[in-house]
Chains A and B, each alone.
Chain A
Amino acid sequence: MKETRQITCIRCPMGCLLTVELTDGAVTKVEGNLCRRGEEYAKMECVHPTRMLTTTVRVSNGAPLPVRSREPLPKDAVFHCMEVLKGVVVTAPVAAGSVIVADICGTGVDMIASTSA
């Protein structure tokens, strides 16, 4: 099955409007890019889009704790992860980098503390 998608390349301020052709979920053609990075971006963004998730969690004895995903996680899991993080309450002290939620929503990615609390 063929489909075409239009996305904006974010690899540089040029912001090329890419027309991406997908066949059975695989990128078969990229147009509109001025350089190779556009093609790489299109392949990644159309096949397996990921995002870094950053937010805060509640701390029972202090100000909110900034947390982040250790690495980018699947884009479509973002709101599900947010739901899970809403229920998380930690207690200080927390060391920077400590795991707050391991393997969040089965993504294989840990949520870790961005700083100490």
Chain B
Amino acid sequence: MRYDIAVIGAGVTGSMIARELAKYNLSVVVLEKENDVAMGSSKANSGIVHAGYDARPGTLKARLNVAGCAMMPKVASELGVPYRQNGSLVVAFCDEEMAAVQELYARGRLNGVEHLYVLGREQLFSLEPHLSPAAVGALYAPDAGIVCPYSLTIAAMGNAMDNGVELKRNFPVMSLADRGASFEISSPGETVEAAFVINAAGLYADRVAAMVGDGFFTIRPRRGEYYLFDRSIGNVVRQTVFQAPTAMGKGVLVTPTAHGNLLIGPTAEDIDDKEDKKTTAAGLEKMTLAAAKSVPGLPLNGVITAFTGLRAVGSTGDFIITQSPTHPRLIHAAAIESPGLASSPAIAAYVEAMLQGMGVLTHKRREFNPYRAPIPCPGKMGEDERYSLIAHDPAYGRIVCRCEEISEGEIRDAIRRNPPAADTDGVKRRVRAGMGRCQGGFCLPLVTELLSAELGIPMDQVTKRGPGSEILSGPVK
């Protein structure tokens, strides 16, 4: 099969780019090595839409972050993804740290962040009464927000697919070869051709680049460990609370999530293994102590899960979004570490502009629909609306996940809608079944059964996250 454009990688970068390309009369395919979208850095990060004061002025990071932050409310609303502009604080705990806060303020101004304030102790505590009494002041960026990173990715890809983009999963790119008029891209099972290629392969973007001889950058994973707390303490802080950078590092954050939980983390450890997503006792302990500097006394018995994310840190210190020097029909969109999520809408627009400059994007599709209705969420509806919905489709009245109050109708939607959930983790990321305090104890068997029925496969072929992660070993006997 020959496509106009192939995007390698269905993380937030690849998915946002795919959605942008869906606006044109082109055939676009997204190639993803995993069983679902958002399986790398986009799955496990802080979910922060940074305001843009952090990046060095003049960098692509600074520019795209400020632009992306401004675009996010509209994009999130088009895609039906919960986004909360909750503001962020960079808290100082001594006078030297206040100097760092002042420096960030100045940098933010240079980067073009419009709303930025330096708060004294009193103003700070009126915003966040549960902070450590040691806090002396903070940088306040009211434009910062929180968004669920995988929800955004899933919705972007879903919207792209609804508009004609094709997604191929379990397609690890093993070779990329320039055949002159087009590239040949192969996985162990299949080969596709594409005239243009976007390398949005996240942690593996350097390996994809190396396939055509581009060795001008490398990507190194930076591990970050997190704790996610139950929603009962999701409102300990309202803003995203960062710590002022010190000689010891950037500190850890304490933030509400877009779904109302509380998140603390991450650690920052540079490693070599691009798949090492394990959590460690030492890392979590260190991270918890660091978080206590901002908000003391967080109850560890409220932790519902721990996870590790890997950030794709590039060798140049900035985002690498550029045409390949040797193969001009290949665009790298690499090293998208923080603030990559915040920047993602702007990155997509930036790549769109590059392709326009190359004369690729000529014909807009008139029928492009930028909207993606969210899956109905009866648990959050008013009683009348909920009653009507169940009357219309009773499956929305059958609760499968008790903790998050998720119905069979929602799970069925997650399995049927683009991009269809193909495993239990995929269902969890789409509609939160199994995401609550019991972590799937009650609903995993029911979700497994629904996947089995919807996909037409036996129960023991249902997986957690693709081939090799089967939930069950086989029938009894």
Contacts and interface: CB of A to CB of B under 8 A. Distances in A.
A86 B476 CA distance: 9
Nearest to A82: B477
Contacts of B476: 56, 58, 64
B: interface residue count bin: under 10
Nearest to A88: B477
Contacts of A64: 476
Interface in A48-64: 56, 58, 64
Contacts of A58: 476-477
B476 to A, nearest CB: 7
A86 B477 CA distance: 6
A64 to B, nearest CB: 7
A56 B476 CA distance: 9
Contacts of B477: 58, 86
Interface in B419-477: 476-477
A117 to B, nearest CB: 15
A58 B476 CA distance: 9
Interface in A33-60: 56, 58
Contacts of A56: 476
A64 B476 CA distance: 10
B350 to A, nearest CB: 55
Nearest to A89: B477
Nearest to A56: B476
B33 to A, nearest CB: 38
B326 to A, nearest CB: 61
B99 to A, nearest CB: 64
Nearest to A55: B476
A111 to B, nearest CB: 15
Nearest to B475: A58
A107 B476 CA distance: 24
B377 to A, nearest CB: 31
A58 B475 CA distance: 10
Nearest to A86: B477
A63 B476 CA distance: 12
Nearest to A83: B477
A58 B477 CA distance: 9
Nearest to B477: A86
A64 B477 CA distance: 12
B150 to A, nearest CB: 34
B154 to A, nearest CB: 33
A79 to B, nearest CB: 13
A97 to B, nearest CB: 23
Interface string B83-110: 0000000000000000000000000000
A56 B475 CA distance: 12
Interface in B380-437: none
Interface string A73-117: 000000000000010000000000000000000000000000000
A16 B2 CA distance: 77
Contacts of A86: 477
B261 to A, nearest CB: 35
B381 to A, nearest CB: 33
A56 B477 CA distance: 10
A86 B475 CA distance: 11
A112 B40 CA distance: 52
B477 to A, nearest CB: 5
A51 B22 CA distance: 67
A82 B476 CA distance: 12
A63 to B, nearest CB: 11
A6 to B, nearest CB: 35
A58 B380 CA distance: 40
B145 to A, nearest CB: 47
B436 to A, nearest CB: 26
B234 to A, nearest CB: 38
B449 to A, nearest CB: 11
Interface string A9-41: 000000000000000000000000000000000
B460 to A, nearest CB: 15
B462 to A, nearest CB: 17
B475 to A, nearest CB: 8
Interface in B118-153: none
Interface string B371-384: 00000000000000
A64 B475 CA distance: 11
A88 B476 CA distance: 12
A81 B102 CA distance: 77
B254 to A, nearest CB: 45
A90 to B, nearest CB: 14
A73 B367 CA distance: 73
Return the 5 tightest CB-CB contacts between A and B, nearest first: A86-B477, A56-B476, A64-B476, A58-B477, A58-B476
5 contacts: A56-B476, A58-B476, A58-B477, A64-B476, A86-B477
